[in-house]
Copies of this chain bind each other. A is one copy, B any other.
Amino acid sequence: MSEQPPGWTLDPDRALPAEPGVRALAREIYAATSRLPIVSMHGHVEVDLLVQDSAFENPAELFVIPDHYLVRMLVSQGESPADLGIPTHDGTPFETDPREIWRRFCRNWKLFRGTPTRYWLEHELAVVFGAPVPPSEEAADELYDFLLDTLSREEFRPRALLDAFNVELLATTDSAASTLTGHRKLAETDGRQRVLPTFRPDDLLHIRRPGWAADIRELSEVSGIEAGDFDSFLAALRGRRAAFLQAGARATDHGHLSADTTPLDPADAREIYAAGLRGEASPAQADAFAGGMLFEMARMSAEDGLVMQLHPGVLRNHHRGIRTRYGTDQGFDIPVRVEFTRALQPLLNSFGMDPAFRMVVFTTDETVYSRELAPLAGAYPGLRLGAPWWFLDSPEQMRRFRESAVETAGFYNTSGFVDDTRALASIPARHDLARRIDAGFLARLVAEGKLGLDEAVETGADLAYHLPLQSYAPRS
């Protein structure tokens, strides 16, 4: 990583508590965690980015266009996605001049005050790329030219960055039908499995989704098992899980609207699956199938040892017009209230005490930490409470997560930080921020006489490094 030029230096104590006594303790804890390797067990970097290892094209392509946190904030204040370079699906013209896109972002820098996007971008620009000044209308062109030049250098190619960031493990997220060619190639080049696929079968489990039948056909092809009925569907899924395991996968990932895990009677499952293939499944059948399949996924996890990640409670594509014009993942996925205590009961009754099973649960609804998830994770050995993520991966929320969850679940039933990012360059920024917030939380425990400093330092290292490794360790 570049040395910071004199023009723009970030506060070395940023995101640590303000009170001087607590800050001094936090500094000490952070010093013991800040240089630990990064174990990134849940993310959305594309493996092909690393396989191809091409230079990033320009600042707009790297920082603006793919970042829906950033784009939605500009949209919320009246910018149009098209003017920010988001490609349209309906023929509407969109901005293709990256400098123009960059200028639009820079003159709106003020909007990011108080947001984690600002925090991450400052870290990326100043620490990772050594930018001389923060974004502003005046500095937009200077910054653009500086970054354009920097991005063209060898040491800022994707794989070089991964080394510079000290990334020990990086999990990607991959459809169940993925051939995993990229992961295999990368493992050969690297001489080790450092970039691991994650098995995400969501598309296959929602039988009324447009395109479901086509996805089933793709599954059949890739798995070599014709998924013509429910039992062969399960067999095909088992086959793909085995292939993922062989390519180094440690986990599955499930993003459902609800957390329902009620098992289906096999006869009902077969009938619903057949109805799905005929395009005749009802919404109620589709919901029951999705819940029943979560139960089946848990059963398979208990068999093959893949850690099961679940994150329910987000209503996707809230605005239909945005979806139609720009596609999915445009910042219009909005959380809804979600219930876990009853929803997870079937699954936890069957697998929650099984030493071969592990589940990590994420939420975008912070109210469930103290009420539901911490009590569950503080009782079931099969359940770990996932890190605060998406909407909640910010300083205040990460602090509140610890304040809400640790007293009931303890530190050691939480999963360790996951960055959940598609932006390679933001990985160190996100882990660094989490380490600072945890250092601050631990420092307060020390200052309030609840923990020894030696214990806090050890716990800090556990949270930053050992817990993610251990939470996602193969289950035998």
Which residues does A use to contact B, with CB under 8 Å? Answer: 10-11, 13-22, 72-73, 75-78, 110-116, 118-119, 315, 318-322, 331-332, 334-337, 339, 341-342, 345, 348-349, 352-353, 355, 364-367, 370-372, 374-381, 383, 391-392, 394-397, 400, 402-404, 406-413, 444-445, 447-451, 455, 459
Contact = CB atoms under 8 A, between A and B. Distances in A.
Contacts of A118: 450
A391 to B, nearest CB: 6
Contacts of A450: 14-15, 114, 118-119, 395
Contact of A408 (B115, B379, B407, B410): B115
14 contacts: A73-B378, A75-B379, A78-B355, A111-B412, A114-B411, A114-B445, A115-B407, A115-B410, A315-B341, A315-B342, A318-B376, A318-B379, A319-B353, A396-B404
Given A15-B449, A16-B449, A315-B342, 12 more contacts: A77-B412, A115-B407, A318-B348, A319-B352, A319-B379, A322-B353, A331-B379, A335-B375, A366-B371, A367-B371, A396-B403, A397-B407
Contacts of A372: 334-336
Contacts of A73: 378, 410
A305 B276 CA distance: 47
Identical copies of this chain, number: 3
B411 A380 contact: no
Sorted nearest first, the 4 A-B pairs with minimum C-beta distance are A11-B449, A14-B449, A18-B447, A394-B407
Contacts of A395: 407, 448, 450
B413 A77 contact: yes
A353 B72 CA distance: 12
Given A75-B379, A410-B111, A364 B371 contact: yes
Contact of A19 (B19, B116, B336, B341): B19
Contact of A75 (B345, B367, B381): B381
Determine which residue in A380, A394, A408 has the highest number of CB atoms from chain B within 10 A of its CB, and name it: A408
Given A14-B449, A113-B451, A391-B408, A379 B332 contact: yes
B349 A370 contact: no
Given A78-B355, A110-B412, A115-B408, A349 B321 contact: yes
B115 A406 contact: yes
Nearest to A18: B447
A448 B412 contact: no
A102 to B, nearest CB: 20
A382 to B, nearest CB: 9
A396 B21 CA distance: 20
